[in-house]
Amino acid sequence: MNQVLFTLCVSALVSSIYGYSTYKAQPELARGVGNGNYNYSAVIHASLLFYEAQRSGKLPANKRIPWRGDSMLDDGKTVGKDLTGGYFDAGDLVKFGFPMAATMTILSWGLVDYEDAYQKAG
């Protein structure tokens, strides 16, 4: 059990380092339109990048997270279902539909209502 816990902790640490280095490697996330003490452009970029990193299934060639590859391509196969695709929740191996749907809806709704702001943000 201790070996499994150690492996999980090391995996989480390595994933965090890679994720942070990916974020730091994209200087366009640091610039943008600020409002007061908040840089909403950076928030939008970071949010969208986070959800791109959570994608499951066959990933497109234009993915922005270079260390991510295809995953869970046989998900559901043992019970005769095709469960590939979707998003992981919080980086674990569970795909929750409703919490992720709520967040994605808010981000998408923001784009629909404030498309000009998203374009200004880059």
- The pair phi, psi for residue 34, each rounded to 5°, is -100, 160
User: In this predicted model, what pLDDT tens digit does every residue of 31-87 receive, in sequence order?
Assistant: 555 556 778 788 888 888 888 888 889 999 999 989 989 988 998 899 999 988 888
Q: How far is CA 111 from the centre of its chain?
A: 17
For the chain, which residues make up each domain, given as ranges?
2-121
CA distances from 71 to 14, 58, 88, 113, 114 (A): 18, 7, 10, 33, 33
CA distances from 119 to 11, 14, 99, 112 (A): 36, 33, 26, 11
| Mean pLDDT computed over every residue of the chain | 74
Residue 33 has a pLDDT of 54
pTM of the entire structure?
A: 0.54
Average of pLDDT values for 89-116?
77
